[in-house]
Each structure stands twice: as C-alpha cells, then as structure tokens.
Structure 1
Amino acid sequence: MAVTGNAPRRRWRWFALAVVLLLAAVVGLLISQQPPGPPAAPAPTPQVPTPARPAPPVTAGFVGSDSCAGCHSEQHSAWRQSQHHHAMAHAGPDTVLGDFEDARFDYAGVTTLFTRRGERYFVTTDGPDGELEEFEVLYTFGLDPMQQYLVDLGQGRLQALSIVWDTRPAEQGGQRWFHLYPDDEIGHGDPLHWTGAAQNWNFMCADCHVTDYRKGFDADKGSFSPAWSELGVGCEACHGPGSQHLAWAEGEHGLADRGLTVLLDERRGMHWLHELERVTARRSEPLLSDREQQVCAQCHSLRSAVAEGYHAGLPLLDFYRPELLSDPLYFADGQQREEVFITGNFAQSRMHAAGVTCSDCHEPHSQALRAKGNALCGSCHLPSNFDRPEHHQHPAGSSGAQCVNCHMPERTYMVIDPRRDHGISIPRPDLGQALGIPDACSSCHSDRSADWAAQQVADWFPQGRWRQPSHASVIAAADQGQPAAQQDLVKLLAQPELAAIVRGSAAQRLNPALGPDQLRALVQGLADKDPLVRLGSLRAFEDAAPELRARFLAPLLEDPLRSIRSMAASQLADVTLPAEQQPAFQRALEEYEAELALHADRASHLGQLGLLRLRQGRVGEAEQAWDRAIRAEPRASGNYLNLADLYRLQGREKAAERLLRDALELMPGDGMLHHALGLSLIRQQQRDAALEHLRRAWELQPENPRTGYVLAVALEPSAPQQALEILRSGMDLHPQDRDLLWAGASFAIRHGQLELATEFVDALLRRDPGDREARQLHEQLGQAVR
C-alpha cells in the first residue's frame, strides 16, 4: 500500500477493546447492571466448507522481468511505460523527477533543502529528533501525479519523505514541492512525521512496490534486512515466479500450465455478447474463477498481511486478511472514504457480479484504459440507449455527460491524487439526503442541495433503480446503534444475491448475544461458501462470551484459508477446547503467532500479542508485549490503555496512574487517556482530581458517548444539575446510546425534573419502541406529570 497522506489519526482495532475493559470497571462502580436478556435459542453447529487445500506450488524461482522480453516484447515494452514499472527505482538522473538544484521548501518552521552532488541526491530536513540533518535519497517512489523519495534511517529502516514532488505539468499546478499534510504542522514528535511508523516503507509500502518482498525484521536487534527479487511491480508480481515457464519455453513441454503458477486466461476465448433484446452485453462464457481479481487484489485492496510468500496462483486469503466495509474506511453505502485501493468497491458492483474483470477495462501491461471516455463504457452498454441526453440529462460532450462522473465519482487522496470509486453505482442523492453520504450529483453541483438533486433524479427517473432499498440504510442504522437494525442485518446476511463483501460487512455488525435470530444467522455465516462472509461472521464473535466462541468457532480452526483459521485461534485462546480439537487449535494458533511475529516491528501487532497473552493467562508476557509496543511507538495510546488496565486488574493502581500520566505528557490532547486516568483516580478515591480528567475527556471527545456518560455519573451525587446538562447534550449527540439516555431519565426522576425525564424516556422509545422498561417508565411518568 502507498503511504497515505491525508488519512485521519486512526486507532488500532485493539484500542476499542481497551476502552471496553476500562469502562467495565467504572460501570460496575457507578451504576447497577441491567438484567440479562432471555437465553439464546439453540443454534446449529456450523459446517465449514472444506474444499481441498491447494496442492503445493510448483517449485519455481524469480528470474526478473527482462527474462520475459525476448518472447513477450510487446507486453514488456508496454510495461516499461507503466506505473507498475516505476513503482520504485534506484535514485539517479534517469529516475529522479524532483528539483534538487538547491531547492528549498518551508513547512512547520523548518526549511528543507534539496541538493544534488553528481548523480547522488540529498535532502536536509528535520530528523527524528527535530534537528536538521542531511539524508541521501536512495530510491524514487512512484511516478504520476507525484513522486516520493526514500531515505534510510539506519538498521534497514526506509522512510518516505512527506515533502513530495508534484510531477504534473506546471499549467496543472505541478512541478513543485508540496507537503502531504499541508493544513497541519507535523513536527518530529508527531506519529505522522516522516520519520514515524506511518511513513515506514518496510511495513506500509514495500509489499506493493517491489516484487517478491521479504521484510527480514530481527525483533532482538530491532533491525530490518529487506530483500526482494525486483524493484517495482514486475512481470512475476502478477504472473508468478517464472523459472519454470522459461524451462517450458526452452523445451520442457511436459510442465503443466506452460510452467506458470497460474494462467490468467479468464478472457481467453470469450467476448462480450450483444443481443438485440438487451441494452447491455453479457459474457459469452460465464466467469468461473477469480484468479485475475485475486492477483490484482494483492495490492489493489486494503488488507493486512498474515504471511509472506504470496504469488499468483496461491489463495489470496492465505496471505492477506482484507478489510470489510466499515467506518471510517467506507461510507455506509460502500463508497470509498479513505484509501481503500479499489477492490473493496469493485467487489460490490454489478459489473463484478456480471463477470467483468480488471483487464476488461484496463490493458494489464500498460495499465491504460482500453478505450477513451464513454467509448469504454459503450463497449458493453449500448450507446444509443445510454450515451444520450435522455439518459444522462446533460448536454452531449459536457462533463456531466461522461459516464464516469456520475457512476465513478472521484475522491482525492494525498492532496493531488484523484481516484475513482469502482463501485460503479447509480447516483443516490436520496441517500445523501437521508444519511449524509456524498453523491455524484451534489458533489458536482456544489451550489445545490442534496434535496434538490434527489428531486431531479426522481423527476427524470420516476421508476428508476434509486427506488430500490439500499443496504446503506441498514448499515448506517447499525453503526448508529439502532436496535431494529439487528433484524435488518439478519435479512441482509440471508440475501445471496448481495455482494459477498456486503453480506460479510453486515455479519460483522451483528451481536450474537442479542437474540436467537442473530446467533442463527451468524452460525450460518460461519459456514458460508464465501470467505468474506465467514470472515465477517467470525469478527462478530470477537467480544462474545467464551462459551459462545467455544461452541461455534472451533470448526473454523480447519478453515481452508489461513487468515480465517488464525483469527479463529486468536478468539479461542481463552477457552478450553475438547482434546480432539486441540491439534487443529495448536496449528492455527501457531499461524496466528507467526503473523504477529512477522510484524513485531509494529506497535499494533505487539499490542495484539499482549491481548493474546492476556487471554492465555500469561500475564507477565502480556505486560512485556505492551511495554515493547510502547517503546516501539511511544505515541500509540491504545497500548498505554491496555497496560494500565492490566495494572488495574493486578491491583497496581498507582502504577496505572503513573503510566497514564506519562502518556499524557506525550499526548495531552488524547481524550481516552484523560478518561482512563479519571477512572483510575476514582478507584483511588481522589474524586476532585478524577473529575478534572473526566471533564477534559468529555471536552476532547464528545463523539464518544461514554465520556459524557461516565462524567455525568461521577458528577451526579454532588452536582446533579451539571450531570443532567451533560446528559442532555449527550442525548443530542448520541440519541441511540441507551446507557446515556437511561442515566438521564433516572437522574431526572431522582431530582424531581419529570418533564426532562420524559424527554429522555421519549428518546429511549424512539430508539427502541419495544423497550419494555422504557415503556413502563413512560407510563409512570405520564401518571406523575398528570
């Protein structure tokens, strides 16, 4: 993946678990628990599909792209001009495009100097300690619309400079230096500084910018020995190691598939068939495999590596675990939000469902589109029906008449890099109106409202597909915490015609403890034939009770795909499995531990190791893992939160307080650190000091309902009016948070403010009309008010 330049400061997945652990303590101290719901109905044991695991790949070695040129000169020549070829190169006069003739760039009080000495290139800028230092540029990184530069900070650690050369022509605003975070002032202590983990090539970028990458991290020495077969994305990055293919070409014709590890021949012998009665072409032969899509998705998807060694022909999910559709990565309708690298969007599209592959639109060697403008879409979609004003409702030849501007809207990343959404969906300003998500119409007509755009579409296409229900409404409701959304998620998961990534994304939002319908749907999802549905269903059990995980997840320890097996093992680390399941568990757990070891350079994975060790009851090793994580990345707050909660569990409250105060010295604006310190001080009976930090947490993170809820609970005994004011504000921000609403109702009744209590109870009933306790309270309040 490319180094991202405008992503928000994200929390790691385990950060949420830390918050849950911390808040569990204060809730127990400050409020009584709600009575448990009815027991879940029995659900069937999942039957995981067990296709045979792939045969061991043919032993083949990487031989380099130049070995292909003799027989494939046309393809090799096209590739030489592509972005793939230029993904990474040694710095030199033929590759460096930026101005290194004593050019200067000012940012955040630092003047960076770019210089050249012969055929070597240097940059003088603020280093890890903030002091000016000269670094040699070793590699170029990318080509269009920008070029980044890599330097070595020692111990094999390559970093991407955040000051980047704009390679566009000057008349388009290019031929200049710019910073990836132009609206911030990223200093040397910031996690987003070019010397930090977010801009580390070894983890963030290398896998997709060189061929056959090996990280080579030595955890004991803290150093890298990276290795690769070829700089850039070479022929073998897509076709697999080529030595056996060369042997086939030289006469060993007995080798299967011409000695290739995979044949990318989905388009061979087929064509897009046009028929008189259809306005859209269809494949003359059905698409029976996703080989090509998997090859492209190794880089053109947002995923995490679970093992090294992927090459074309091997199962992608044996080496990568993809991200599903979730905020903040995607909008509720599945549109790209952050840099998600295409595949997740395309997998939702009607084109993908119809058998369209990447190479139907893109020439795979040059990466150029196979036709320009609307002619590309017109190769399948009848122009006489679609490429006319009656369809697109814009003057012919205008920007609005271009198919891609309505069906593949752009979103700009890294300041100047516009990328089209590959969901290839119809504009839905009605969803933008209802859910606050972008739509192509009002994004272009920025002077008009989404209401106006929705009415235009309704007038043009009164019976159009925009009238069809959208999963976006369900996803948005689920993310807002609306109870009714759980049943709607069950229905989404049960619709086989939906894209698997949508079904898997619905599954991961289900709560198996809420009722028999959710549990039954998830159990079926765990056995689904599509791995994305199994993955989403598995993720739904992350916080489930141990007995639920033990009962339903064990079959996935023998899933045919490593990324699912290893995740199942991580979720079963704190349960006791029967003896007959132990061998499968141990094998899958070894795979998960190997995954964590592969990324032992990252605070995120060291933090996950801490959680694993805690689940295993290996408390000392958990503490060591979190301590290493903090040293690896001192400004990753989640590890402080986890370690502080471990100290709490051990009764080491003073140690937790010291740790959190140290963290706040580095990150004074982190609301959850203030929140955790406030809880620690409450447990130490230091109420006034605790309130100071709990107030600060609410000020810094009002988007988290727990900060307001806990502050109000702590204030209520001595300052009930302040508590109610906080809860009233919280109700406006978080109308779906039951704890916050219930506390507001309870406190208002306790202090004789019955009209305010009625407001909170009405909000509870809007959230869930079937909430029996809220209905009873509503009746009691009605009688009291009368």
Structure 2
Amino acid sequence: MQRNLVKNAEKLPSRLAKRLGWGVMALAIVVAVLFGLVHGKGSQTRQAKRATLQALTPTQVRTNGYTTSASCRACHPSQYASWHNSYHRTMTQLAGPHSVMGRFDGTEVESGGLLYRVYQTNGQYWATMPDPEILMKAVETGRRVNDHTYQIRTNGVLSMLDLRTVPRVDKRVVMTTGSHHYQTYWVEGSVRNPTNQINEAKYGNLLQTLPLVYLPKEQQWIPRENAFMMAPSSKRMISQWNHHCIKCHSTDGNPGLTGSGTFDTRTAELGISCEACHGPAAGHAEHYRSPLARYADQFSDAPAAKVVNPAKLDHRRSSQVCGQCHGVYIYQDEKAGNEFARSGPAYRPGDDIHDIRYYIQHPGPAPTPVRQEELEKNRKFFRERWWDDGTILAGGREFTAMRVSACYTKGTMSCLSCHSIHHSDPVDQLKPEMRGNAACVECHAEPEYTTAIERHTFHKPDSTGSNCLNCHMPHTTYALLGAIRNHQIQSPSAKRSIRHGVPNACNLCHLDQTLDWTQQQLAKRYGHEPLPLSAEQRSTSAALLWLLKGHAAQRAITAWHAGWQPAREVSGGDWLAPHLARLLDDPYGVVRHIAKESLRKQPGFGGFEFDFLADAPERARLAKRAIAQWSEQPGKASGETLLIDSDRRLMKTAIEALLKERDDRPFTIKE
C-alpha cells in the first residue's frame, strides 16, 4: 500500500533532513573546525606524494562476510569476464594509467572565475586548485551572492568571501568515478598543518571533488557544473565522496563517520562488484572450496549455498537489488540513516529493501488532498526528479519508474526481464535477445502485438513506429548529457503534454507535427478524449514549442530528438538546423551541448565547430553563423508549422515571440 509522506504529521522536508542528517552533521563538524585551520596564506608542500593511494583512499577490507570479486573468478570465469568488461566495475577506481581517461598535461580550465590546472608528476596525477576545504565551507554553509562570492559566517561574524582569493593548493588525484560517458575525479582530503607545513589527514580519509569533468569523446575538460542540468544561479558542485557517492559507487561502502566528525571510510571493493548484487560471498567461497560440496551441488536443484542469485528471486526482490541504487528513497527513520553513516548499509541482496528504506513516488496528476499537500510543500524536490505529471525525469531512477508500471504492479516484469550484467552489451546491459519487441511479446503475445502488429501501431511492421519501446518507453528521461528511455511504461498521451508539458512519444518522432495533429491521431485510433488547445498548439510544431519556449528540460529532451535518427528520417532534417542554432546560446551548458551534437547531424553541419563553453558573445556569433549557413542551403522544407515561410525564410517575428515567452524558471535535475 502507498504510504503517505505526511503520515503521522511527518512532512517530507523533515524526513529528508533525517535521511541526510548524518551527512549534514558530518559537514557541519568538518567545516566548522576546518575553516579555522586552513584560511591562511601560502602553498602546500607535497609530502603526500610519498603516500600510497591506499593510504589516501577508502580502506578496502574483507569484513561483514565480503570476500571481493577476485574470489569469484576461479569458479565463475565466464561471469567474471563479462562483469569485468562492464562499466559497473569501472565506476570507481584508484587513479592510475589503467583508469584515468583525462589528459593531465598541464591543461588549465576556468570555472566561474576559478582556475584549475591538471598535470602529472612522477607518474602521479595532480591538480592545482583553490583549496577545496575552504570551498566546501563556503558552498555548503554560505549564501551564494554570485558565481564567485559567498556570504559566510566565521566565529559568529558574517563576511563576504571572494572565491577567487582562496589560496591555491596542489592536491593529488587519487580516485576516479565513471569510465564511459564522462569521468570525474577525487583529490586527497588532507589539510596543511600550519606548524610543520605537512599535509595531514585531519579528517580521516575524506575525499574532495576535483570539480571538473572529462569528456572522452570530445577529449575536453569542462567545469562540473556544465556536465549536469542545474540552474545557472545554483551553488557550485562541491561534494565529498565519503557521504555522497559511496552509497552506489562502491560495494558495502561504509562512510565510517566518527563522533569527532572524521571519516574512517571503508569498502569491500571500489566500484559495483559481484557482491553488490549477489551479497557477501565469503561463506559461499569457503563452502565450495570443498570438492565434496562442489560434487554434491552438481546433482541438486537447490540454490547455491550462502549467496544470492538475483535471477532466482521473485520479480520484486530481484528488482530491489538494482533499486538499491536506481531509485529515489529516504531511510525509514533517523536511526537507519545514522546507522548507515557509522556502519554502512544494512541491506543485503535478497532482503526486503522496504524494511530499511521508503521509496518515494510522485503524487501524480490527480493526487488526493493529502498527497496534493505533499506536492505543494515539496514542489522543488519533486520537480528535480519527475515531470509535473509524475513521469520520471531524472536518470538513474529506473526502479522508481518501473515500480508504478502495470507490467510490474500487475505482472512479473523485473529489471532482469531485459537487463543482465553478464554476457550483454556494456553500454546498456540489455540481454542480446531482448532488443526490439522481444522483451514485450514474451507477455503480450496476441496477434496485434506480434504477427499483425500494424493493427495496433498503425505503422508498418518493420518501421520504428512499430517498435514497442519508442511509443511506451520514449526517451523522456534526462541523464548523461542526453535523453534515455523512460522506464515508467505507459502509452502515448497528448493530454500529459497539454496539461503538464511532458513531451509525448508521437511528437518526439514526428517533430514536424503539431499537438493538434497528435491529439487527432490518438482520438481517431485509440479513442482518446480531445482537450482544448491554444492557437499555437494547433498551428506550430510541438517540438518547436518545446525548443523555443519550453523550460530547460523540455529544450534538452527535444534537442536530443532533433539528432535522433528515427525522428530525422520521419520528420525530415533540413529544417531543424536554424532552430537548434538558437539553443547554441542557451543559458544551460547541457542544453548547448546537446544542441551542438544534434546540429552536427543535420545536413551540411557535420563539421560545424562550436565550443559550448565559449563566452556569451562568441556563442551568439556562432548561432547567427549557423542560421546564415542554413539560409544559404538549397532545397529546404517549408511550412507555417515549421516557422519557415513559402519562400523558405525563417518566420522571425513568430520565432522571436516564442523566445520571449521562454520558460526561464531555474531548473535542476538530480541524476
């Protein structure tokens, strides 16, 4: 049964505070002491160069029954090999030639007035940067005045801190996160002893972020803020691995928060290893070291001893194994949150995760009065994770999305119905046999979904319009500088677009069509009830309305689809370039990046050069250049719905009117 967030007068903000309270408490203790120690002049020495990576990073220990993936290899070589080839394994690694993708070649990166330099010395990776401990104090506890000025309180006195004046220090890069779409880095958290000028681990093995991200495809360093959907007015992304990333990017990660506010952080293994999904396996490995046990097991149908196989759990428990990371949750109570902070996770694969955590769901488009109250009191929290109708928006929350899908609630679909960490493509972990419609027709085997699919889809059987996923799992979730498939399985709906602004599957493929056209098709074919439309919803392409006057998430999702091959083939690609060009000067870096990538897929723009981090005048210049380049191309599509007149000229007055109505609400997505 759905449990109300306000049950027993307990409001979401207080519950969120309880969930995060240990992290806030740790930060409060650390930064309060820290600010009195490090706000001094001078540069650090590099005594830490002699320290090993192991001494500077979370301790990897075999406790709580964990034994590490190395113990699995001998008996399970095939499964080990496919896991070893996955991006789950390389999610968190010690920094070294085998793991670091970024070019530490002396490159300097400017981020909001702050300068960072990345380099190598003696085979180690280093960064010269503003002291991260001072930035932590300012960002976590101060009030943002502008991008580089924060109001802070020191010993009860308010003052202004210009982050550009923060002393620069050299920090060793000791750990990496990510190895696919992009990679970010963590530096040692030691601080300078003002007496002997030696780096000391005042706060245990606390790791601070190097607030840069490396894009391997572009071979480009970017500020971390430009890798995520976050409002330009947001605080800087300054975080610590020990209480933020450890929950999902390590196996049995224990923050190890002590009473004095230091960290004795430990993990069974960095990255997402075998035991993250199969549970502690020391007992299992010990049991099967006996030849007799191995022989007896050959003649038994019983599950393997002392370990969990998610594939043999019911669909709910097996999905919870993935949901321990891919969901929106808070701890059931303050005690559970504090226990995690001090001792690590209590959940083990195979347990009922709901005993420990409460997984939050959006109140939906028609909430009860109580849930409407929740929504109103926590509008920001929900909008950072869901579309306004309750459809999931933030990537990495697939369990949360699937849990409200009928295939899960009324059927037995699980994450493992389609995905496997073993013997699958590391890009999406899809089972080879589950691409296309195969996953759906396992249950939906009626002729209208199989041999006579055209009766259901009204598209040719071999077309992208007859791909179940394109209609029922469209790319309306934002993550990783792009759009990914939404795991909240539902049917296309013009109603959600009209009332809540959620881009629908039809218009994300038929980019040249209006909402009126979509509504008519759904009414004619599936009996949907039509709703009143505005004049522009009847006359202008829905995609252009989202691109030009939509909020940041609508602009990002639609811009991505402008580069999606099925949409370009259906809609024609020779009219999209000038509209994408408008987004090259968007206030959100991620929107500019997506627009750039999609623009390069338009006819004649394959080699168009654009740096999405360029300053505003340069971005505006290149946007105009792109529009001019398009104007000179022959054979362009035209039509009022495309905002291109019969002479194939842009309808500038109409375009400018839409741009003036752009929804510029601050928009952040919590991936």
After superposition, the C-alpha distances for 1:385-433 in whole angstroms (9 at most, x for unaligned) are: 3375554345665554433222112246455143321112111112322
Q: Give the conservation status (yes or no) of the 8 Å contact 2:93–2:270.
A: yes
Alignment correspondent of 1:766: none
SS of alignment partner, residue 258 of structure 1: coil
- The residue type paired with residue 177 of structure 1 is W
* Further displaced range: 365-374 or 94-103: 365-374
Letter in 1 for 2:270: L
**Which of 201, 216, 236 is the aligned partner of 2:256?**
216
Tell whether the 8 Å contact from 1:149 to 1:161 is kept in structure 2 after alignment.
Answer: yes
Distance 1:61 1:389, change over 3 A: same
Cα distance change of structure 1 residues 184 and 348 upon mapping to structure 2, 3 Å threshold = closer
Change (3 A) 1:321 1:149: same
1:459 is displaced (CA, Å) by: 1.9
The match for 2:236 is: 193
User: Which residue number corresponds to residue 418 of structure 2?
Assistant: 361
In the TM superposition, what are the counterparts of 1:207-246 in structure 2 within 5 Å?
207-220=247-260, 222-246=261-285
For the residues of structure 2 that align with 1:186 and 1:441, how far apart are their CA atoms? Answer: 28
Q: How far apart, in 2, do the equivalents of 1:390 and 1:455 lie?
A: 18
Match in the other structure for 2:595: none
SS at match of 1:290: helix
Report the Cα offset of residue 146 of structure 1. Answer: 1.3
Amino acid at match of 1:312: P
SS in 1 for 2:225: coil
Alignment check: 8 A CA contact 2:82 2:421 kept: no
User: What does residue 216 of structure 2 align with?
Assistant: 167
One-letter code aligned to 1:347: R
The DSSP-based 3-state class of the residue aligned with 1:364 is coil
What is the letter of the counterpart of residue 471 of structure 2? C
3-state DSSP class of the match of 2:116? Answer: strand
Residue of structure 1 aligned with 2:109, choices 83, 98, 105: 105
Distance 1:61 1:426 in 2: 45
Identity level (%):
28
Shifted more, 413-422 versus 249-258: the winner is 249-258
Quick check: 2:319–2:416 contact (8 Å CA) kept in 1? no
Other-structure match for 1:405: 470
**Match in the other structure for 2:399:** 343
Distance in structure 1 (CA, Å) of the matches to 2:352 and 2:15: 30
SS of the equivalent of 2:208 reads strand
Matched residues in 2 for 1:65 and 1:468: separation? Answer: 56
SS at match of 2:416: helix
Q: Does 1:84 align with 2:88?
A: yes
Residue matched to 1:615: none
1:258 aligns with 2:304: yes
CA distance in 2, matches of 1:183, 1:295: 28
SS at match of 1:100: coil
- Residue 62 of structure 1 and its aligned partner are, at CA, apart by 0.7
| 1:300 to 2:326 alignment | yes
Quick one: which amino acid aligns to residue 114 of structure 2?
A: V
Structure 1 position 63 matched with structure 2 position 67:
yes
The equivalent residue for 1:145 is 181
What is the aligned partner in structure 2 of residue 635 from structure 1? none
Amino acid at match of 2:310: L
Contact 2:471 2:492 in 1 (8 A): yes
Give structure 2 stretches of 5+ with no counterpart.
Answer: 1-10, 18-62, 136-162, 191-202, 364-381, 532-671
**1:119 maps to which residue?**
123
* CA distance in 1: counterparts of 2:530 and 2:288, whole angstroms: 53
Give the corresponding residue for 2:562: none
Q: Residue by residue, what CA displacement relative to the aligned partner does 1:479-525 show, whole Å, maximum 9, x if unpaired?
A: xxxxxxxxxxxxxxxxxxxxxxxxxxxxxxxxxxxxxxxxxxxxxxx
Aligned equivalents of 1:229, 1:175: Cα separation in 2: 32
Q: Give distance in 2, aligned partners of 1:315 and 1:152.
A: 36
| SS of match in other structure, 1:409 | coil
**Matched position secondary structure for 1:86:** helix
Equivalent AA in structure 2 for residue 321 of structure 1: Y
Give the secondary-structure state (helix, strand or coil) at the position aligned to 1:223: coil
1:140 and 1:148 in contact (8 A); partners too:
yes
Q: Could you tell me how far 1:341 is from its partner in structure 2? A: 1.4
Structure 1 residues 219 and 410, CA gap change in structure 2 (3 angstroms): farther
CA contact (8 A) 1:91 1:139 kept: yes
Deviations 1:305-359 (A, max 9, x none): 4343321133312332322225323235431123461111101112213101211
Distance 1:292 1:412, change over 3 A: closer
Distance 1:378 1:437 in 2: 27
User: SS of the residue aligned with 1:430?
Assistant: helix
Q: TM-score, normalised by structure 1?
A: 0.44
Instruction: Give a deviation string over 1:185-228, Cα, whole Å, max 9, x none.
Output: 999x9974243xxx3222221011111111111242x2211101
3-state secondary structure, aligned to 1:259: coil
Is 1:141–1:148's contact at 8 Å kept on the other side of the alignment?
Answer: yes
Could you say which residue in structure 2 is the equivalent of 1:693? none
1:442 is the counterpart of 2:503: no
Match of 1:422 in 2: 487
Distance 1:124 1:455, change over 3 A: farther
Decide whether aligned partners of structure 1 residues 424 and 16 sit closer, same or farther in structure 2, where only a CA change above 3 A counts.
Answer: closer
2:77: which partner in 1? Answer: 73
CA offsets 1:253-281 (integer angstroms, 9 cap, x no match): 599953324343437xxxxxxxxxxxxxx
Specify the SS of the correspondent of 1:112. Answer: strand
Q: Cα distance 1:384–1:109, how it changes in 2: closer, same or farther (>3 A)?
A: farther
Alignment deviations for residues 281-313 of structure 1 (CA, whole Å, 9 cap, x no partner): xxxxxx5x6221121111111123434332113
Determine the structure 2 residue equivalent to 1:314: 351
SS of the residue corresponding to residue 410 of structure 1 reads coil
Structure 1 residues 201 and 357: alpha-carbon distance in aligned structure 2, compared to 1, 3 A threshold: same
Aligned mates of 1:122, 1:265 — CA distance in 2: 43
SS in 1 for 2:117: strand
- One-letter amino acid of the structure 1 residue matched with residue 319 of structure 2: Q
In the alignment, the residues of structure 1 paired with residue 507 and residue 130 of structure 2 have an alpha-carbon distance, to the nearest angstrom, of 42
Indicate the structure with greater helix content: 1
**Contact conserved, 1:107 with 1:185, CA < 8 A, in 2?**
no
Count of residue correspondences: 385
Instruction: Find the aligned partners of 2:75 and 2:227 in 1 and give their Cα distance.
Output: 50
Q: Which residue, out of 279, 282, 286, partners 1:247?
A: 286
Aligned CA distance change for structure 1 residues 66 and 415 (closer, same or farther; 3 Å)? closer
Preserved contact between residue 430 and residue 450 of structure 1 (Cα < 8 Å):
no
- Inter-CA distance 160–378: structure 2 relative to 1 (3 Å threshold): farther
1:417/1:142 CA distance change after superposition, 3 Å: farther
8 A contact 2:109–2:221 mirrored in 1: yes
Moved more, 423-432 or 257-266: 257-266
User: Is this contact kept in 1: 2:395–2:484, CA < 8 A?
Assistant: no
Mapped to 1, the partners of 2:229 and 2:398 lie a distance apart of 30
Instruction: Kindly state the Cα deviation for residue 83 of structure 1 after the two structures are TM-superposed.
Output: 1.7
The residue aligned with 1:13 is 13
Kept in 1: contact 2:394–2:479 (CA 8 A):
no
Secondary structure, aligned partner of 1:182: helix
Q: Using a 3 Å threshold, how does the CA distance of structure 1 residues 244 and 181 change in structure 2: closer, same or farther?
A: same
Q: How does 1:280-291 map to 2 (within 5 A)?
A: 287=314, 290-291=316-317
Query: In 2 relative to 1, CA 447–122 (structure 1 residues): closer, same or farther, beyond 3 Å?
Result: farther
Instruction: Give me the whole-angstrom Cα distance separating, in 2, the residues matched to 1:454 and 1:114.
Output: 53
Greater CA deviation, 356-365 or 72-81? Answer: 356-365
Contact 1:261/1:313 (8 A) holds in 2: no
Report the Cα distance in structure 1 between the residues aligned to 2:510 and 2:224, rounded to whole angstroms.
27
Shift of the 211–468 alpha-carbon distance from structure 1 to 2, 3 Å rule, reads: farther
1:182 to 226, 251, 255: 226
Cα distance in 1 for residues equivalent to 2:514 and 2:80: 49
Larger CA Rg, structure 1 vs 2: 1
The one-letter amino acid of 2:244's match is M
Tell me the secondary structure at the aligned position of residue 138 of structure 1: strand
Measure, in 2, the Cα distance between the counterparts of 1:348 and 1:398: 29
